[in-house]
């Protein structure tokens, strides 16, 4: 039996995930971010995570060239941020204000993110229409709060899902 992309999307929609914004700084020096929920821990020792990025996205090119990225795990109050960075074509000037500070490792950190991870790419594997980047976590910042979740195709407040 062949599984369609629609069937897989529906099935995976039943798996609640956290919501992240993966950030990079491309060659032009402007901050770039993309909402992603295909993110997971790989190993505690050494500290490794993975993010899966569609190869047609600009983020893919920026990570491939720069070898670094930040992962900002969004809090329950950041739905507007998630929606903004989920857009393929973001309008200049519409980005939320005072959103960033540059981390020492060079990745853009969202000030209000629940968690920030500074990552350096160790390996990449291309399958289907995505590339999985496995990265070493070089720095972590964790703040108190509850996460924003993605479930059944919708962003949801953590407390609404309980």
Predicted pLDDT at 132:
97
Q: Tell whether the torsion through CA atoms of 69, 139, 52 and 74 is positive or negative.
A: negative
> Domain span at residue 95?
5-161
pLDDT mean over 62-77: 94
Residue 64 has pLDDT above 90, yes or no: yes
pLDDT digits (tens, 9 = 90+) for 3-60: 998 998 888 888 888 999 999 988 888 888 899 989 999 999 999 999 999 998 888 9
Confidence of residue 135 (pLDDT cuts 50, 70, 90): very high
Predicted pLDDT at 106:
77
Q: Among 73-82, 101-110, 132-141, whose mean pLDDT is lowest?
A: 101-110
Of the candidates 66, 55, 68, 39, the one whose C-alpha atom is nearest the C-alpha of residue 148 is 39
Residue 161 has pLDDT above 60, yes or no: no
pLDDT mean over 118-125: 97
Cα–Cα distance between 33 and 25 in angstroms, integer? 9
Domain count, the chain: 1
Predicted pLDDT at 40:
95
φ/ψ of residue 17, rounded to 5? -130, 160
Specify the pairing of strand 154-157 against strand 100-102. unpaired
pLDDT mean over 89-113: 74
Predicted pLDDT at 17:
86
Q: Which residues of 131-159 are buried (b: 16+ CB within 10 A; e: fewer)?
A: bbbbbbbeeeeeeebebbbbeeeebbebe
CATH number at residue 106: 2.30.110.10
Residue 96 has pLDDT above 80, yes or no: no
């Amino acid at each position: 039996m062949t599984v369609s992309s629609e069937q897989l999307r529906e099935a995976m929609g039943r798996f609640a995930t956290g919501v992240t914004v993966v950030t990079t700084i491309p060659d032009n020096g402007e901050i770039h971010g993309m909402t992603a929920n295909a993110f997971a821990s790989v190993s505690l020792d050494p500290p490794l995570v993975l993010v899966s990025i569609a190869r047609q996205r600009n983020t893919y090119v920026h990570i491939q060239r720069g070898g670094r990225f930040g992962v900002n795990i969004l809090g329950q109050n950041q739905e507007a941020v998630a929606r903004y960075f989920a857009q393929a074509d973001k309008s200049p000037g519409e980005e939320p204000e005072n959103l960033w500070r540059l981390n020492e490792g060079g990745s853009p950190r969202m000030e209000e993110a629940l968690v920030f991870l500074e990552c350096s790419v160790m390996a990449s594997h291309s399958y289907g229409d995505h590339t999985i980047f496995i990265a070493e976590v070089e720095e972590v910042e964790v703040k108190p709060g509850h996460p924003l979740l993605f479930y059944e195709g919708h962003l949801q407040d953590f407390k609404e899902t309980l």
